[in-house]
């Protein structure tokens, strides 16, 4: 379940994403508009996730998809609790589902391609 070669050296790009992520969190905190707050929240999370997405693409063997698969379950069930379907109630869980699926596909793509090629 744990990936033994998952160590990763943090780069300037990682720090830059982290700084912008923190900045968007501050903007999220000071806004009084719920829709803008959700946008900043998504942007903050996305900026913090970009290094992981790149790593999952370039070095999928250093990641495990189980964390992202199990993260999908509570996010998907949150849709059942939504009473009013609007941007502020749907945007963040939708983003989480999309980003988790992207990371899962990036991590597992080589395995998926092997299965597809073996079926031909």
pTM of the model: 0.74
The answer to the question of residue 83 being in a domain is yes
Residues spanned by the domain of 72: 12-118
DSSP 84: S
User: How many domains is the chain partitioned into structurally?
Assistant: 1
Q: Give the CA distances from residue 105 to residues 31, 56, 58, 85, in Å, rounded to whole numbers and listed in that order.
A: 34, 9, 12, 28
The answer to the question of residue 6 being in a domain is no
The answer to the question of residue 7 being in a domain is no
What is the residue-level pLDDT of the chain in tens, covering all 120 positions? 455 555 567 778 778 878 887 887 788 788 878 888 889 889 888 988 998 999 999 989 888 899 899 999 999 999 999 999 999 999 999 999 999 999 999 999 987 777 655 555
From the list 55, 64, 41, the residue with the least C-alpha distance to 10 is 55
Alpha helices per DSSP H over the chain: 12-30, 34-58, 66-78, 87-118
């Amino acid at each position: 379940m744990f990936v033994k070669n998952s160590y990763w050296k943090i780069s300037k790009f990682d720090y830059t994403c982290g700084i912008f992520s923190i900045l968007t969190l501050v903007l999220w905190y000071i806004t009084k508009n719920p829709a803008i707050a959700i946008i900043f929240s998504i942007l903050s999370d996305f900026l913090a996730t970009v290094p992981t997405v790149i790593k999952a693409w370039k070095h999928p063997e250093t990641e495990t998809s189980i964390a992202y698969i199990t993260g999908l379950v509570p996010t998907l069930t949150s849709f059942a609790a939504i009473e009013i379907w609007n941007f502020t109630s749907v945007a963040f869980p939708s983003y989480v589902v999309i980003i988790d699926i992207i990371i899962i596909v990036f991590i597992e793509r080589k395995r998926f391609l092997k299965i597809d090629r073996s079926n031909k």
